[in-house]
Amino acid sequence: MVLLHLPRTHISLCTHFSLFSKPKTPTFNIATTLHPILTCKLFSAPKSTLSASEPIPISQFPGNHIETPQEFETPIEIHPEFETHIEIPLEKLFVPPETEVKYTDTGALSTRILKGSNILLSKYARDAQVNQAEFVKSSVRTEDCPSDGLPEFALVGRSNVGKSSLLNSLVRRKKLALTSKKPGKTQCINHFRINDSWYLVDLPGYGYAAAPQELRTDWVKFTKDYFLNRSTLVSVFLLIDASIPAKKIDLEYASWLGQNQIPMTLIFTKCDKRKKKRHGGKKAEENVQDFQELISGFFETVPPWIMTSSLTNQGRDEMLLHMAQLRNYWLKH
């Protein structure tokens, strides 16, 4: 468990359901040196190196222990060389709704943080394990999506960001969402029902230049319509490739979600990849920090984020726990 020394005052519990953008849209230059732009402070304290917490097996939480079905993949052990460490300013921690911030007798924060993220663990993190997953339907219009009222989480990202691989990793199935070497293959709103109680939604990737202009326009139109009009959407999980520097199209997408007050979690993919410094590349954690600094001016509060890898399954349990606490809060309210 990571203990963070924080002052007991100046705490503002921001919720996932109020990630409003600022009225003005700041300009950014990816090529320039990046500096933090803090728009909302949760805490006032020096930086602390977090990892961001010890791993938290899902089976440790109520209602999360099941036997893994044989059809599911065997969990992969994470090799130490793939462990990611990142400095998180304490004011950039994400506090879920109704989360009690607890301290030890010495004044240190004892509330647990999901590993490889900025997310505090809440009392709603239960029933997170996936024991059943099935494809339900593909839709090209929001009104054609399932109408059973179950909560859902939408995965969206630039083409070739690893969306289908991540979805398969979440449910421990190799072929639930078919992966393709050709970007832009997903062209519909695809619903996958989990445990007969909620949905994972696979949305078309954006930014695939080889797709016909008319088709790209249709994807953008019905995807944005889905975001704006889908009443059962709990959160959008925006996938960002952490193995490369920030892309303008990703920054614009995050900005649009913020401007339209759509709940969003940043999911950084491919965090197992290592670029050699001598070749001008950056580590995944450096690209993660850079991206957050670039979008900080778009939001009044800090969006939650998680580092992942479909290869090592890093971040899988953390994503499921985060989904569980958002989902259970949504169902209660």
Q: What is the pLDDT of residues 111-129, one digit of tens each?
A: 899 999 999 999 999 999 9
Q: Is the pLDDT of residue 278 over 50?
A: no
Residue 167 tokens read as: 């979805």
Which secondary-structure segment (H or E) carries 320?
Answer: helix 316-332
User: Does residue 159 belong to any structural domain of this protein?
Assistant: yes
Q: Are 294 and 34 in contact (CB under 8 A)?
A: yes
CA-CA distance, 308 to 176, in Å (whole number)? Answer: 19
Give the chain's domain count.
1
- What pLDDT, on the 0 to 100 scale, is given for residue 164? 85
User: Does residue 267 belong to any structural domain of this protein?
Assistant: yes
Domain of residue 273, residue span:
90-331
Does residue 52 have a cis bond before it (omega within 30 degrees)?
Answer: yes
CA-CA distance, 92 to 90, in Å (whole number)? Answer: 5
Mean pLDDT value of segment 237-249:
94
For the stretch 160-170, pLDDT in tens is 898 988 998 89
User: Does residue 257 belong to any structural domain of this protein?
Assistant: yes
- What pLDDT, on the 0 to 100 scale, is given for residue 302? 84
Tell me the range of 4-8, 21-25, 134-138 where mean pLDDT is highest. Answer: 134-138
User: Does residue 114 belong to any structural domain of this protein?
Assistant: yes
Residue 305's nearest CA partner among 295, 203, 5 is 295
User: Does residue 3 belong to any structural domain of this protein?
Assistant: no
Q: List beta partners, residue 304.
A: none
Q: Is the pLDDT of residue 62 over 60?
A: no
Q: Are strands 233-241 and 152-157 parallel, antiparallel or unpaired?
A: parallel
Tell me the range of 45-49, 229-233, 307-311 where mean pLDDT is highest. Answer: 229-233
CA-CA distance, 296 to 270, in Å (whole number)? Answer: 22
CA-CA distance, 93 to 89, in Å (whole number)? Answer: 7
- What pLDDT, on the 0 to 100 scale, is given for residue 222? 78
User: Does residue 32 belong to any structural domain of this protein?
Assistant: no
Q: Determine the 3-state secondary structure of 194 from DSSP.
A: strand
Q: Which residue has the higher pLDDT, 198 or 106?
A: 198
Mean pLDDT value of segment 76-93:
57
Torsion of CA 157, 176, 61, 153, to 10 degrees: 40
Per-residue pLDDT band for 79 (boundaries 50, 70, 90) equals very low
- pLDDT, averaged across the chain: 74
Per-residue pLDDT band for 72 (boundaries 50, 70, 90) equals very low
- What pLDDT, on the 0 to 100 scale, is given for residue 301? 82
CA-CA distance, 333 to 252, in Å (whole number)? Answer: 31
CA-CA distance, 284 to 22, in Å (whole number)? Answer: 27
CATH number reported for the structural domain that contains residue 258 in this entry: 3.40.50.300
Q: How far is CA 308 from CA 4, 84, 167, 239, 312, in A?
A: 23, 10, 11, 10, 8
Q: Which residue has the higher pLDDT, 268 or 277?
A: 268
Tokens 């859902």 sit at which residue? 152
Mean pLDDT value of segment 119-147:
93
User: Does residue 11 belong to any structural domain of this protein?
Assistant: no
User: Does residue 28 belong to any structural domain of this protein?
Assistant: no
